[in-house]
Every structure is written in structure tokens, then in C-alpha cells.
Chains A and B, each alone.
Chain A
Amino acid sequence: MSDTQPIAAATNEARKGDVVAPTKEKGWFYTDTVKDHFFHPKNFLEDEADYKDAYMGMVGSPACGDAMKVWLKIEDNKIKDFKWKTFGCASAIASTSMLSVMVTENGGMPVEEALKLRPQDIMARLGGLPARKVHCSVLGDKALRSAVNDYYRKSGQIEKIEVEAGRIIDKVLKITDHDIEEAVLEGADTLEKVQQRTKVGTGDPSCIPEVEQLIRFYKEKYFGA
């Protein structure tokens, strides 16, 4: 391939999202809990044959740097088993590993409770992630929801299937991921531009990492970059 694309965008644009006060910058390094889950991941799927009938969900794509599949076994509406595969960095692997522990410990988390898990909950259990790595950890809960939808579908609870497109991202302003998708489709390709259109994150700044992830996801989906 000799005809290559010129550099599409300055990396500075992306860096802006990472600017934090120097006193709050946690730096590059991972907590011992993150390292433990990265070097000794729990519950990753080793043999797919045993999970053919499990409820499966997937999210992301390797092109955007993160992709994830999860397999669930659910009994009495409780998650008894959670297996996963993740393409991603240490943060992504550790987050998925931690999520698998959180939903299966103490006899298994009720499905409805698991649906409420947010990336922040996983990060808290990991003892935090470096600021610039937060965006790597936002896929686990989505993959889980995708698998739960598969469970609802297969167990005839169709009415419970939550359409991902309508999920509220900014709970203060009630901005959904559908709103973000629309903004990206209208040409907003950075957090700033999406915020100009939706105000997302101004009501609930804690959702910004997830918004960035969604922008990236939709850009990849619709524009291939």
C-alpha cells in the first residue's frame, strides 16, 4: 500500500482530555490490585467449548484499541459464572478481571444489580487508574449488559431488554448515548464539539471518560477512524 493517508488529526486534540492539575495527576503507574489482576487475570475464558450455551455479549473493536467478549451463566437470576476475553491494555484486562470477580462473588450478583454497575465502581475496587487510562476501562459494563440482554432474549424476558442506544450517560442532564451518536453523526468528532452540541458532562463530569469512549466508538463505526 503506497498511497497512505496524511495524518488525520493532531494528537494534541486528544491530549486535552487528559489535562489534570499536577497535584491530582496519579501518574503512569498502576495500583497493586491492578497489577495483580493484569498479571494474574481471574476468570478469562480458556476453553470456549464449555460456554457454547452461555449468554454472550461483546463490545468494542480492536481498531479502537479495546474489544471485549463476555460469557455469563445465570441461575435463579444470579450471575454464577462470568468468563471473558479482552483485547486491550493492562487497564482493560484488569478492569474486566475485576468485574468478573465483582459479579460472581458472594454467591453471584443479581442480574438487575449487575446492570447498574458503572466503570467507576470497577475502578474504585481496583484502587483507581491513572487519569489517562480511565478510558480503557469503560467497556466491561457494556459487555456485561450486552450479555444480560442475550440472557433476557433467550429466557423469554424480551420486555426487559434494554436498548443500549437509549441508555442515560449523563444522569444530571439525562443525555443518552443515542444523543452522543447523533452528535458524532452530525460531525462532532471531539469531546469539545460533542459537548457544544449536547452539554454532556457539564452536569455530571464523572461521565466524561465514557463519553470519550462513545465518541471514539461511533467515529470508528461510522467513519472508520
Chain B
Amino acid sequence: MKRLIYLDHAATTPLDSRVLETMRPYFSDVFGNPSSFHTLGMRAKEAVTEARGRIAKLLGGHEDEILFTSGGTESDNMAVLGVPRYFMNELKKVHGPEVVPHVIVSAVEHHAVIEPLIWLQRRKEIELTTVGVDRYGQVNPKDIVAALKPTTVLVTVMMANNEIGTIQPIADIGRELLKWRKEQKTALPYLHTDACQATGFLEIDVEKLHADLLTLNGSKIYGPKGVGALYVRRGVKFQPLIIGGGQERNLRSGTENVPGIIGLAKALELAQADREVESARLLALREKLAAGLLAIPKTILNGHPTERLPNSVNVSFIDIEGEAAVLYLDAEGVMASTGSACASTSLDPSHVILATGLSYEAAHGSIRFTLGHATTEEDVDYVIKIMPAIVERLRMMSPVNLDMKYFETHTN
């Protein structure tokens, strides 16, 4: 059989068999609705409560601060749509009828954060400030502070980027916001951070991060798909997205995804328990892969050279297009992804890579390899072995031969 190497763990991860085992009883045996007042309902409710408590403890929060959702996208939407909408009327009373809530977002956020914010902006429900990043994709906390206004209700910056792996200084941003709030004698703005990519590798402590809202997701940490959570600090207000039977303290209605929730708790526990050992192991592989790929002429590393997730290698091969390279890799059994427009539904290449100041040409040629539990050194060696020929072949077919002087800012 053809060798298959999955290097797209930032897209999704396989379900850990230990997670599956903890979920198993909750599909058909303990199938009760946690809202029901009978034995099976109570048992399901107890399991959900227990899982909620464990997740809260791992994050350094309280049980009533964890809300279960259908995944990262819903958690992000809940935060970025819910907070401005909650404060809309209050703000108008204080600042005048024309005033709308102000939101600050980084230029490299996931679409689940950016798109709902742009939607609100188009509907004139918010004023939106996009804060740029440096060439490594990192936000400067000073830029966030400079963008703050008396009407700012929310700042949203991810913990680590899904495309280039760059880690953001969330704790520093959090400290700046605490200082601002103290000076201004206000509870706003809140700090929201999307931790979906970071959970398997970084410490997620809401106190150290000073996060008011934090997005978690099951499918990036060897947990089930279709389940996530939003940490919401006590006292933080937002308007719910889903209204109905009043589950999750009236903030997220709908019968709880009991097996998913049990699985999420287990996956998060395993991820946090293993993260230091696994990070160290992957870091060595990441460095080897990055060095091997950068040995190919006219190749640029995207993302921060050191402050980057230990599983993330994103490179741009100049003069070639990413989708073509990904398909050639797939034909050799290696599964990776690209920021090229051709691989997405839009005509624009990765907004993340463009935000680092790299040109459209280089963004179209970006390839992301994200390592995971199953990745071995042999896998990395194999990629390093086959990649040069793929790049060479596509370059032979390409009419483009850009001078590397145009990429000096990203190569020195």
C-alpha cells in the first residue's frame, strides 16, 4: 500500500481511542436528555456537570464559566457577535444614538472571527478596527492599546494562528487591557481569544492570560468533531445566539451533545497532560522539516522563527502555485494544505500571509505542514526527500521567475 502521511493536523486530528472509549457509553446506554427528571436524564446531567468541572479546572476557571457549543466557529461567533450586540443600547444611552460598539480584531484571525465581525460592520452594528501584524504575523500589544476607544467593547486576538502557527502575546494584551479598564473605571473592553490551535501545545490558564472569553474546540485536539466550548468569565455579558429550551444557563439552548462533551473533556485533559512532552518531540521534527524545506532555493518560512506552534511549518515556494504543489504531494501520499486562492472558495490568497507583508505571488505559493501525534522522523525525512523534485517540476512548468530581492524583508 502507498505510504500515507497526514500533515494537516491544524485542519483536524483523528479521534484518540482513549477519548472514544470515554464517549462510548453516552451514545446508546446513558442516552438520556440532561434536562429530563429521571434516572437516565440525571445520569447524563451528572456526566455533563462532571466534564464541565474538569474543563473549568484545566483552564483555571469556575464550572459556571464553561458553555458547551457545536465547535470553534460557534464559540467564536458567540463571543464576537454576542458582546457588541449586548452593549449596543447601553452605549447609545451613554455616547449618543449614532454611536455603535467598537471592536478591535487582529488581521490574522480565523474566518470564524473575521467574517461575523465584517458582517456586523456592514450592517453598521459595530465600528471595526483591524490591527496589523509584523512580518512574523505577531500583533504588537501597543497597537491594540493605540486603537482603544471609550466605546471599545471587545478585543479579539487568537492565541496561535492556524495557518502560520505564530503565537500571540495574549497575556501582554490582557495586562494592557486590565490597566486601561482600571484607568477608565470600566469593565470594558473584554478580551476574547481563540485557543483552538494552541490547546495541544500551550498552557491555557485564563487567569494568566487575563482572558474574558476563550474559544475551545474538540476536533483539533484528538477529540470529537462538532463540539467546542466558550469560557465566559463571571460577570461578562453577551447576547446569546441560540435561543430555546434554556440550556447552558439560558446562554446556549439546545439539548447537550453529551458524548461530545464527555469526549471534549477527556481530549482536553490528555492534550494538557501530554503537551510538554509532545511539544518537545514535535519541536525537533518541526525544526528538521523547516530546515529541509528551506534548503530548497527560493523558499521562505512563513510565521515566527521561534514563537510558533511546535507542529507548524508554513513555507512559500516562490514561482509556483500552492494547490498544484499540494496535489503533487498528495499523489506521493503526503497530505498538506495551502493558502493559495485556488484551494479555497475565494479568489484571494491567505489573508494571514498577506497580512505579514508578503506579496500575493508568495501567498499563492504557500504550503502548510502541521505535524501531530502520529508524525515520525521518517515522515519528515520522506517529505524532505520528495519536495525538491515537486518544486523543481512545477518551476519548470512555470513562466514566472521572480527575483528574490523582492522578498528580502522576509528572508533575512
Q: Which residue of chain A lies nearest to B351 when distances are taken between CB atoms in the complex? A: A7
Asked whether any CB of chain B lies closer than 8 Å to the CB of A1, the reply is yes
Interface mask (A82-94 → B, CB under 8 Å = 1, otherwise 0): 0001111111110
Shortest Cβ distance from B350 into chain A, in angstroms?
10
Q: Contacts A14-B347, A15-B346 hold; do A65 and B107 have CB atoms under 8 A apart? A: no
Binds A, one of B32-40, B83-91, B284-292, B316-324: B316-324
In whole angstroms, how far apart are the Cα atoms of A87 and B119 in the complex? 34
Asked whether any CB of chain B lies closer than 8 Å to the CB of A212, the reply is yes
Is the pair B345, A15 in contact by a Cβ cutoff of 8 Å?
A: yes
In whole angstroms, how far apart are the Cα atoms of A41 and B30 in the complex? 56
Contacts between chains A and B (CB distance < 8 A), count: 126
Q: Contacts A65-B341, A89-B324, A133-B342 hold; do A12 and B399 have CB atoms under 8 A apart? A: no
Is the pair B357, A1 in contact by a Cβ cutoff of 8 Å?
A: yes
Sorting the interface of chain A by its residue count into under 10, 10 to 19, 20 to 34 or 35 or more gives 35 or more
Is the pair A89, B321 in contact by a Cβ cutoff of 8 Å?
A: yes
Is the pair B399, A90 in contact by a Cβ cutoff of 8 Å?
A: no
Q: Which residue of chain A lies nearest to B358 when distances are taken between CB atoms in the complex? A: A1
Interface mask (B332-353 → A, CB under 8 Å = 1, otherwise 0): 0000000011111111110100
Asked whether any CB of chain A lies closer than 8 Å to the CB of B133, the reply is yes
Chain A residues with CB under 8 Å of B321's CB are 62, 65-66, 87-89, 92
Is the pair B361, A63 in contact by a Cβ cutoff of 8 Å?
A: yes
Is the pair B400, A62 in contact by a Cβ cutoff of 8 Å?
A: yes
Residues of B117-132 at the interface with A, using a CB-CB cut-off of 8 Å, are 118-119, 122, 130, 132
Besides A14-B345, A88-B324, A90-B342, 15 more A-B contacts (Cβ < 8 Å) are A4-B134, A4-B355, A4-B356, A11-B346, A14-B346, A38-B324, A44-B397, A62-B360, A67-B398, A67-B399, A67-B400, A86-B398, A87-B398, A92-B342, A133-B342
Which residues on B are within 8 Å of A, measured CB to CB? Answer: 107, 111, 114-115, 118-119, 122, 130, 132-135, 319-324, 327-328, 331, 340-349, 351, 354-357, 359-361, 364, 396-400, 402, 409
Which residues on A are within 8 Å of B, measured CB to CB? Answer: 1-7, 9-12, 14-15, 18, 38-39, 41, 44, 46, 58, 62-69, 85-93, 132-133, 135-136, 212, 216, 225
